[in-house]
């Protein structure tokens, strides 16, 4: 074997190893970001995001996490549009960098759906229902892809579970999006719940936590079963007790079902956590206080 061939093989191995190392490092940073975000430590989450942007400024993963961070910032600011503009910019970067690709893979589809879902959530919060319908129209075909690949990995299973549940319940609960579903595969609510419950045991913590949250929301908003919803909220908040977004969502669920005693207890827990969290801005404190008014 001549020197040139040996050199080429070594060079190839180095490239492969370096690529795998970059992917692994990027995943570690991503996991650290979501751990900070789930923990309600927004300052740490932002610092991790800054480091991610320095190391991987033009990666789709960086674009998506930036959109995620500013989408959350928009919510906990009480709707400050300066955060929405940054969120939309990076969500669009994510979508536009992927949508041109031929032969999208599972990870590509997951990122597209995640980016579009961030924008969808904000448009729901802004009560801009025309944009909600537009967001849904552009994302449905990607949900259809997930239903065909739900056995590939837990990300696809999670998305398929969401599609199956809401595709069946949309007619009564979400009439604005139901007409968009008529030309796509029908849903199966029971299958959707089954898939989401399976995802709560995922080795991918990001997916398991998202599934717990989604089930808590489904059971109190859609299934009208506060008892089951409480079980999911309690599991979620045992893991991340300082996540004030989820704490206030739990409060909102209890309030909806007139559980006055439980509401008062939850309100006290939230007020104490606001006092203890010295990293919250006044804007954020005011948002959480307003969300827990009886």
The pLDDT averaged over each successive group of 10 residues in the chain (294 residues) is 45 37 59 95 95 92 96 96 97 93 92 94 88 82 92 96 87 67 80 98 96 97 97 98 98 98 98 96 96 93
User: Which sequence spans correspond to the domains of the chain?
Assistant: 241-294
Per-residue pLDDT, 14: 36
d(CA 13, CA 106): 26
Phi, psi at 59, each rounded to 5°: -85, 150
d(CA 271, CA 221): 24
**Nearest to residue 158, comparing CAs of 187, 115, 193?**
193
Torsion, Cα 143 20 92 152, to 10 degrees, reads 0
d(CA 152, CA 134): 28
Here the tokens at position 12 are: 């190839």
Centre a 10 Å sphere on the Cβ of residue 175 and count the other Cβ atoms it contains: 9
pTM for the model stands at 0.87
Per-residue pLDDT, 149: 96
Per-residue pLDDT, 13: 39
d(CA 35, CA 12): 35
Contact 147, 192 (CB under 8 A): no
Per-residue pLDDT, 4: 46
């Amino acid at each position: 074997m001549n020197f040139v061939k040996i050199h080429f093989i070594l060079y190839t191995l180095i490239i492969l190893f370096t690529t795998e190392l970059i992917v692994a490092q990027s995943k570690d940073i991503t996991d650290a970001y979501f751990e900070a975000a789930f923990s309600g430590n927004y300052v740490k989450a932002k610092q991790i995001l800054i480091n991610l942007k320095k190391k991987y400024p033009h990666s789709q993963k960086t674009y998506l996490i930036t959109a995620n961070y500013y989408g959350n910032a928009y919510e906990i600011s009480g709707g400050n549009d300066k955060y929405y503009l940054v969120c939309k910019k990076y969500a669009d970067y994510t979508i536009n960098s992927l949508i041109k690709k031929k032969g999208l893979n599972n990870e590509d589809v997951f990122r597209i759906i995640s980016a579009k879902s961030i924008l969808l959530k904000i448009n729901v919060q802004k009560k801009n229902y025309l944009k909600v319908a537009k967001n849904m129209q552009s994302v449905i075909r990607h949900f259809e892809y997930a239903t065909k690949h739900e056995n590939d990995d837990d990300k696809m299973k999670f998305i398929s579970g969401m599609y199956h549940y809401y595709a069946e319940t949309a007619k009564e609960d979400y009439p604005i999006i139901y007409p968009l579903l008529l030309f796509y595969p029908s849903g199966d609510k029971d299958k959707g719940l089954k898939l989401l419950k399976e995802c709560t045991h995922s080795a991918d913590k990001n997916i398991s936590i998202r599934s717990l949250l989604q089930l808590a929301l489904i059971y109190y908003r859609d299934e009208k079963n506060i008892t089951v919803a409480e079980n999911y909220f309690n599991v979620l908040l045992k893991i991340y007790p300082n996540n004030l977004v989820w704490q206030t969502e739990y409060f909102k669920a209890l309030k909806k079902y007139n559980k006055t005693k439980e509401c008062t207890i939850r309100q006290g827990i939230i007020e104490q956590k606001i006092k203890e969290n010295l990293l919250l801005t006044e804007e954020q404190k005011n948002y959480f206080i307003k969300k827990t008014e009886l």
